[in-house]
Amino acid sequence: MTDPRLLADVKAAESCRLDAYKDTKGLFTIGWGHKLDQHMDWTGHTITQAVADSYLASDLDNATVQARTLSEWPYLDTPCRENALTELVFNMGFGAWLEFRQTRSAIKQQRWKDAHDALLDSLWARQVQPHGILNEDGTERPGRATRLAGYLLSGQYPI
């Protein structure tokens, strides 16, 4: 069962597209960033919102299982930090997360400021919403990279 806060955070950071599309890496994708079988041509394929939401729940469950296998997982001392790592694995993929050696090392040592800084000092952080995003009501929320780095730093969700 996916943590409701994790689900809400991912939905706020992702867009949902019910028509199949190629992502920035040229991979067929649908819904909330669900990767499709790349051996097929998905051009013109459409799904319902319910299917998109089901894919997201499954993808987040898979990311949670993968994140819990990481050597840094036992050092995450709050649900907020656990969700941050799970969202990182979801967003960038398990293999890409393994390359974040500085951030992972800092987490294992519970040096939260170093984990925060190393995450923000990455190409990934510059590519995925590093700056604030305007809400519908005109208020600003932090971009994904800033938000997740903040979760690692404080271990708490903002009020």
Q: Give the residue among 158, 155, 116 at the shortest CA–CA distance from 139.
A: 158
pLDDT tens string 93-122: 999 999 999 999 999 999 999 999 999 999
> Does residue 129 register a pLDDT over 70?
no
> Does residue 143 register a pLDDT over 90?
no
In a domain, 25, yes or no: yes
- Residue 119 sits at the vertex; the CA angle it makes with 117 and 121, to the nearest 5 degrees, is 65
CA dihedral in degrees (131, 5, 45, 41; nearest 10)? 70
What is the count of structural domains for the chain?
1
What pTM was computed for the model?
0.89
Looking up tokens 């939905």, which residue turns up? 11
We report the CATH number of the domain holding residue 40 as 1.10.530.40
Range of the domain at 138: 4-154
In a domain, 159, yes or no: no
pLDDT tens string 33-48: 999 999 999 999 999 9
In a domain, 12, yes or no: yes
pLDDT tens string 59-83: 999 999 999 999 999 999 999 999 9
> 20: how many CB neighbours lie within 10 A of its CB?
19
